[in-house]
A and B are shown apart, each in its own frame.
Chain A
Amino acid sequence: MSEFVQFMFSGVTSGAIYALAALGFALIYNASNVINFAQGEFIMLGGMAAAFFNAHGVPLMLAVPLAIAVTAIAGLLVEKLAIEPAKNADVTTLIIITIGVSLVMRGLVQIFLGKNTRPLPSFSGDAPFSALGATILPQSLWILATTLATVAALAWYFGRTRAGKAMLATSYNRLAAQLVGVNTRAVLLASFGLAAALGALGGVLVAPITGASYDSGIMLGMKGFVAATLGGLGSGMGAVAGGLLLGIVEAMTAGYLSSSYKDALPFVLILLVLFFLPNGLFGAKTTERV
Chain B
Amino acid sequence: MALPRSFGLGALLVVLAVLPAILPNDFYLDVAIRMAINAVVVIGLNLLIGYTGQISLGHAGFLGIGAYASAILTANYGWPSAAAMLAGAIGSGGLALLVARPILRLKGHYLAMATLGLGIIISIVLVNEVALTGGPDGMSVPNFSLFGFEIASEQAWYWVVAVLLLGTTWLALNLIDSPAGRALQAIHGSEIAARVAGIDTTAAKVRIFVLSAVLTSIMGSVTAHYLAFVTPTLSDFFHSIALVTMVVIGGMASIYGSLLGAVLLTALPQVLAGLEGGETVVFGLILIVTMIFLPRGLVPSLALRRLALRRRRA
Contacts and interface: CB of A to CB of B under 8 A. Distances in A.
Interface of A: 29, 35, 82, 85-86, 89-93, 95-97, 99-108, 110-111, 115, 218, 222, 225-226, 229, 233, 260-261, 263-264, 266-268, 270-271, 274-275, 278-280, 288, 290
20 contacts: A86-B295, A91-B112, A92-B49, A96-B244, A99-B241, A100-B283, A100-B287, A101-B284, A104-B288, A107-B278, A107-B284, A229-B109, A261-B124, A267-B116, A267-B124, A268-B121, A270-B113, A270-B117, A271-B118, A275-B103
Contacts of B128: 260-261, 264
B51 to A, nearest CB: 13
A91 B55 contact: yes
Given A97-B292, A100-B287, 9 more contacts: A82-B288, A85-B292, A104-B281, A107-B281, A107-B283, A233-B109, A270-B114, A275-B102, A278-B110
B120 interface: yes
A108 B49 contact: no
State the main secondary structure of chain A at its contact with B. helix
B226 interface: no
Contacts of A270: 113-114, 117
A78 to B, nearest CB: 10
Interface of B: 49, 55, 57, 99, 102-103, 105-106, 108-110, 112-114, 116-118, 120-121, 124-125, 128, 192, 237, 241, 244-245, 248, 252, 276-288, 291-292, 295
Contacts of A274: 102-103, 106, 110, 113-114
A280 B284 CA distance: 30
Contact of B281 (A103, A266, A271): A103
A106 B276 CA distance: 12
State the main secondary structure of chain B at its contact with A. helix
A277 to B, nearest CB: 10
Nearest to B109: A35
B121 A267 contact: yes
Nearest to B120: A267
A95 B288 contact: no
A229 B192 CA distance: 26
Contacts of B279: 107
A89 B128 CA distance: 38
A97 B124 contact: no
A103 B124 contact: no
A103 B278 contact: no
Nearest to B99: A271
B110 A97 contact: no
B237 A218 contact: yes
A87 B299 CA distance: 21
A264 B244 CA distance: 22
Contact of B192 (A86, A101, A280, A290): A290
B219 to A, nearest CB: 22
A290 B285 CA distance: 39
Nearest to A108: B281
